[in-house]
Amino acid sequence: MLRGKRILLGVSGGIAVYKAVDLVSRLKKAGAEVFVVMTKSAAEFVSPITFRSLSHHPVYLNLFEEPRIWDVEHIGLAENVDAAVVAPATANIIAKMAAGLADDYLSTVLLAVTQPIFAAPAMNHKMYHHPATQKNLEVLQKRGVRIIGPGSGFQACGTSGDGRMSEPAEIVSELERFFVRSNGLAGKKVLVTAGGTKEPLDPVRYLGNHSSGKMGFALAQACAEAGAEVVLVHTQVELPLPLGVRSVFVRTAGEMYEEVTGRFPETDIVIKAAAVADYRPLTCSEQKIKKSGSHLTLELVPNPDILAELGRKKQHQFLVGFAAETENAVDNAFSKLQRKNADLLVVNDVTKPGAGFGTETNIVSLIFPDGSREDLPRMSKLDIAREIVRVIVSRQS
């Protein structure tokens, strides 16, 4: 999976630099081309000559050295790699990446990389667990940086705990897994829905829900990573649009129904992650409804069931539904899967800590038509999205 891949390896200064030497060797044996960028601190631990000898390429260390390529060197390097790996990733380089600093060669080139970035943290366990480091890692993960590790065990300072850099073999395996699935949806047209719909009562108020859209946006990103052409039909959310994804904005369940069903015939995979209102007000007042001091009765009518409609119409399409439950989650999900004629149903119990609306993590079960299920542990929504894509790819092949 790594043969012919061009990997940028960023080496920052820490005792784990010796592991980066082994990592270069393993990447080369796997058939990858490796371009090493070192910080000055890293060069205090291991000489650049070692990395140059193993990679068979010049080692990039100083922004102001004579360029070795015709282009602005750090930009040319960033534009011509398939992935970047920062290993070891010290607390310092993690902080620079999170803040967008560019004060040396490595931090500058990373700011210009548009391909996937992996980081393998390596530091003392107290530094790793410091709130600033944890916040920086959270920021990077939100941006799509894949964090590998760290491991736990004896550390150079003589203590033991989290913060050991993952072993080179683990990092290579993670890269291989990424490239296996990175083109798994190549040539596929994917439609993802995200966010909570809003059903207007009057010009001021609406009926809505607590959905943040984070799960749907993560799924759109994961599908794009896997090589798909992605259309994201979403409501108003405070999230950045994933790279390479086409945005279609809607407000109500009716608008989402029209967009999704209209695009369905030309779509290969639909992932219905949006929280669509089941009901809407029978009428919407043209003026703001004034408070009268007495009870207000609203008459609600059903919205169209988008997932069920797609299940009736599907031919070659692969249909994924979501179910947010508060009780009997798995049993309700199996029933919904059958009623909607979906190929996969993702269910979560929103009452569990770390699995509700607006959280950065989720805990889900994947339910299949043959009665089987796969339970995923608590993890970031992006990691869950990548696992869902993995399952979709496996079921498509």
DSSP structure string for 255-314: HHHHHHHHHGGG-SEEEE-SB--SEEES---SSPPPP-SS-----EEEPP-HHHHHHHH-
Q: Is 340 annotated as a binding residue?
A: yes
Q: Is 214 annotated as a binding residue?
A: no
In 3-state terms, the chain is what percent helix, strand and coil (to 5)? 35, 25, 40
The conformation of residue 60, written as its DSSP 8-state character, comes to B
The conformation of residue 114, written as its DSSP 8-state character, comes to -
Interatomic CA distance for residues 301 and 312, integer angstroms:
22
Phi (first) and psi of residue 144, to 5 degrees: 100, 0
Interatomic CA distance for residues 111 and 123, integer angstroms:
22
Q: Is 306 annotated as a binding residue?
A: yes
Q: Is 142 annotated as a binding residue?
A: no
Q: Is 296 annotated as a binding residue?
A: no
Q: Is 336 annotated as a binding residue?
A: yes
- Which amino acid is present at 356? G
Question: Which of the following is catalytic: 102, 157, 248, 284?
Answer: 157
H or E segment and range at residue 204? none
Nearest to 190 by CA among 232, 218, 243, 249: 232
Q: Is 288 annotated as a binding residue?
A: yes
157 counts as catalytic: yes
Residues annotated within the binding site for CTP are: 278, 288, 304-307, 322, 336, 340
Give the residue numbers annotated as catalytic, written as ranges. Answer: 157
Residues annotated within the binding site are: 278, 288, 304-307, 322, 336, 340
